[in-house]
Amino acid sequence: MNIKRYIGKTNHEAMLKLKKELGKEAIILHTRKIKPKGILGLFKKPLIEIVAAKEENNKSKNDIKGNANFKENDINKLNMEINKLRKTIETHVVSDKEINENKLDDKLIYLKNILTDNGVIDEYALKIINDIDTNFNLSNYYEEDLINLLKESIKFILEGAISLENNDNKKVVFFIGTTGVGKTTTLAKIAANMSLNDEKELGLITADTYRIAAVDQLKTYSQILNLPLEIIYNTKDIYIPMSKFKDKDIILVDTAGRSYKDHEKISEVEEMINLINNKEVYLVLSVNTDFQSMKSIIDNYSKIKGLKLIFTKMDETEKIGNILNAKFYSNYPIAYITNGQNVPEDIEIFDNEIISKMIVGEI
């Protein structure tokens, strides 16, 4: 028995090849769709494979069936042929599984690359991909569905925080983080939006008296926005302006940003925060900071309870995977993102849908 395999773009094409070589007498053993191998073949249309057989001595199936002198010996021979055929088909089924596994790998690699190209570190990209692989049968997904699947997974991980605008319970809001990440600018953006749009009564406090320029910066914003500003030179004195502002809806507190290696100053900030109840504490991180440093910053502020994150300088980076990295590492909810130097417009309440779309390249 002569067994052959034919592949065509369509059933018709594969059949033509088969007929041409084996003739009309050939017996079709097996037909199936196969996916082209390799990453480039991932989303191509499946090919058709036909496995067919033909008797070497040109005896057709019908000839055998119709032979009146059919002997026991012939039956045994026939059984042997059937067993041979069964084995051949089984071998093909195994190779089908192999193709599926390859396909799975390609799709997983494709998804993982989307994440790592955006700056998500390998370890977290693998976690996300493994999770998808465990829960979904990727062999039945085409490109668009795959991307949507990834997008939904990212969305789920990037839980947002309840923003100040939607939370009337929090009264005192601290902005903490290293120098130059955009704490003061972000505070000014939030202050402007809250006093203009939400018509809230606001008070501003700065505990950043390390540089005169820092005080002047917030003083300027407070004058433009017509908001009262109190300056404290000692973090323990936070209660003094608090009593002055007791009728305000929200009090925003700017803190001294030091190097993240400056542990003493971080504990001063921590002590000040611990003097206050009913608060929101935003750890401000620049999305540009390399993830290694970001981890140290998160570690250094980790004693402070209930932190939420703000990511600044989104306008300065193509790689926003750091947001996923930081979220994975800290599990803190994300409250805002900022995307430029303009006060008050360059700030958005964090939206996990938008960031997920950005990571998979939809926007």
Ligand X SMILES: Nc1nc2c(ncn2[C@@H]2O[C@H](COP(=O)(O)OP(=O)(O)O)[C@@H](O)[C@H]2O)c(=O)[nH]1
Q: How many CA atoms lie within 13 A of 31 on its CB side?
A: 12
CB of 206 to Mg ion, least distance (A): 8
Q: How many CA atoms lie within 13 A of 290 on its CB side?
A: 2
Cα dist. 285→23, 32, 244, 258, 351 in Å? 72, 53, 30, 13, 17
> Any contact of residue 288 with ligand X (CB under 6 A)?
no
2-8 β-sheet, strand order: 2-8, 47-54, 27-34
What single-letter amino acid sits at 298?
I
Binding mask 344-363 for ligand X (x = CB under 6 A): --x-----------------
Q: Which stretch binds Mg ion (CB under 5 A): 179-187, 306-314, 318-326, 341-349?
A: 179-187
**Residue with Cβ nearer ligand X (118 or 184):** 184
> Any contact of residue 106 with ligand X (CB under 6 A)?
no
Record the tokens describing residue 59, joined without a space: 């005896």
**Residue with Cβ nearer ligand X (26 or 283):** 283
CB of 238 to ligand X, least distance (A): 18
CB of 286 to Mg ion, least distance (A): 13
> Any contact of residue 184 with Mg ion (CB under 5 A)?
yes
Q: Which stretch binds Mg ion (CB under 5 A): 119-127, 208-216, 282-290, 314-322?
A: 208-216
CB of 287 to ligand X, least distance (A): 9
**Residue with Cβ nearer Mg ion (124 or 175):** 175
Size of the site for ligand X (CB under 6 A): 17
Footprint (CB under 5 A) of Mg ion, residues 209-228: 214
Exactly one of 159, 271, 315, 353 binds ligand X (CB under 6 A); that residue is 315
**Residue with Cβ nearer Mg ion (195 or 312):** 312
Exactly one of 203, 257, 321, 344 binds ligand X (CB under 6 A); that residue is 257
Cβ-Cβ contacts under 8 Å for 4 (sequence gap 6 or more): 18, 21, 22, 51, 52, 53, 54
Q: Which stretch binds ligand X (CB under 6 A): 149-157, 181-189, 231-239, 262-270?
A: 181-189
The alpha carbon torsion through 24, 28, 32, 35 (nearest 10 deg) reads: -60
Contacted by 185, from ligand X, Mg ion, none: CB < 5 to 8 Å by type: ligand X
Cβ-Cβ contacts under 8 Å for 344 (sequence gap 6 or more): 188, 189, 190, 191, 192, 193, 196
Name the residues that contact Mg ion, by CB under 5 A: 183-184, 214
Name the residues that contact ligand X, by CB under 6 A: 179-185, 257, 312-313, 315-316, 338-341, 346
